[in-house]
Amino acid sequence: MTKINPLFAFLFLCLILSARSLFDFINGIEIHYDEAQYWVWSQNLSLSYLSKGPLVPSMIAFSNQVFGQSFLGLKFFSYAAYAGTILFLSLTALKLSGKENSFKTALLFSALSPGLFFLGGVASTDIYLFFFWALTIFAYVCFFESRDEKWFYVIGISTGLGILAKLSMILLPLSILLYFFATDLRKYFLNIHIYLSALLAILISSPILIWNAQNNWVTFFHEIDHLVSEIPSSNPEILIVTMLMTVPCTLLIFMSKIRKKVLSSKFNYLIYPTLLMLLFFLVKSFTGKIQLNWSIPVFLGLIPIFASIASVERRGVLLSLLFLSPIILLSNKTVSSLITPEDPLHPMRGWKETYQDLLEIEDYDFLASEDYKLLSTAAYFQGVADNIFLTKSTNRRLTHYDLWKTKPHPSDKILFIAYSAKEVSSDNLNCKKIREVKNFHRKHLTLYNCSSK
């Protein structure tokens, strides 16, 4: 197999990370409310959390110790995971073809993937899931090429760590095992290494099991709610959008020569597990709902496949630029305002100024809200992760904050944050309006001075 130039790969990854950082800086992107929530969790470390495992909060806690509450303090390890995702997808392409050009092509396809580029700069569970997913695919391809059973243990470790980031990591090894069962690879079910690697994955992810055993298995009930909903969204079309946002060059599948190569028996062991996972999300789209970021990992294995096929490089890069360029342009508020007054990236900017104007120099004992997004972002920009609580509400889903045993004393001063269009609905608070701010799209907030009853 052709060797790669490590210096070239390093410089390329540095360029991509610099471009992603510059994207945030130019567009005034501050923080997504999920990042704020994970920061709050990182200041209250636990074996696990209601909807996610402990990996992301732990990584943020560690980087906070080194860099403080800053850009790097929040995003250092997510950027490392982003670079690692690109690297392992590219190494997989190299493994599939044995040609250095495939490695370089995969670098470009991964770096120009709109889904990876955008989520790669967000300190959330997604980019960590992508990293361990890419590592697992690489180990799987290495096993298939060499039949060396040591790769089972790499898969076990990456699966366990991936589960600590997001439970959907389990879909990849399960799909691979189903493929094994349906082919002559079923002989490996008689091999002890496959069971030891599975045990390794369980041991690594055991903090989630331990925490749930102590908390009435709330995570699993939470996930079941995602699988089956009383009012399903029925949105299977999102899978097509996700595929194009992850791997734009999949449009080349309409060319018979490319389709024949992609669907050749050479790639069956990657394509069939992908189809199994795609079927899962298709069913899920009718019984519950799916969001764009949920199914991105399913399509990651297509990047090394297309990158390893000769004659797709230029067309694949052009398609990637065709999808990525307008997203980058419309992410700029000045450009998007020419088309719509609504900010397409409103969840990621405007928070700092909003809370500066809303909270000013108010003294308080507790920050409160009935919206976890507002509570998380306010806590982050105030630099507090204690003395916050989410008030009860019958029209929202359970969150991790609901599991905290925080209860203000009647003498405590509570600053309650709410969207201006909503009334304070808590039966346990006496509230008086202080002020409201309407500086940014979808950030019309009102601040109340409250006391508990």
Identity at 47, one-letter amino acid code? L
Strands 445-452, 414-419: pairing kind? antiparallel
- The rounded distance, in Å, linking the Cα atoms of 280 and 276 is 6
Q: Which residue has the tokens 């510059």?
A: 22
What pLDDT is recorded for position 30? 95
* Residue found under tokens 């508020």: 333
Give percent of the chain above pLDDT 70: 98
SS (H, E, C) 309-328: CCCCHHHHHHHHHHHHHHHH
Average pLDDT over residues 34-61: 97
- The CA distances from residue 401 to 49, 160, 174, 315, 405, in Å, are 10, 25, 32, 48, 9
Nearest Cα to 111, choosing from 103, 1, 145?
103
Of 26-30, 261-265, 449-453, the one with minimum mean pLDDT is 449-453
As beta bridge partners, residue 432 has 449
Average pLDDT over residues 292-300: 95
Quick check: 426 pLDDT over 70?
Answer: no
Judge contact between 448 and 413, C-beta under 8 A: no
pLDDT tens string 228-252: 766 777 788 999 999 999 999 999 9
With contact defined as beta carbons under 8 Å apart, do 33 and 347 qualify? Answer: yes
Q: Which of 24-33, 61-70, 369-378, 397-406 has the lowest mean pLDDT?
A: 397-406
CA–CA gap between residue 315 and residue 319 (Å, rounded):
6
Measuring CA to CA, how many Å separate 413 from each of 367, 382, 420?
Answer: 9, 16, 21
Predicted local confidence at residue 26, as pLDDT: 95
d(CA 197, CA 204): 11
CA distance 130 to 119: 10
- Give 389-411 pLDDT, tens digit per residue: 898 776 777 899 989 887 788 88
Across 8-99, the runs of DSSP E, i.e. the strands, are: none
Residue type, 412: D
Residues belonging to the chain: 453
| CB-count exposure of residue 28 (10 Å: 0-12, 13-18, 19+) | middle
Separation of alpha carbons 252 and 271, rounded Å: 16
- Please tell me the distance from the alpha carbon of residue 89 to that of residue 170, in angstroms, as a whole number: 19
Contacts of 200 (CB under 8 A, 6+ apart): 153, 156, 157, 160
Residue 369 has pLDDT above 90, yes or no: yes
pTM (predicted TM-score):
0.95
- The mean pLDDT value for 188-207 works out to 97
- Sign of dihedral through CA atoms 312, 314, 320, 323? negative
Least confident of 165-169, 247-251, 344-348: 344-348
C-alpha radius of gyration, the chain, whole number: 23
Task: Give residue 360's pLDDT.
Answer: 87
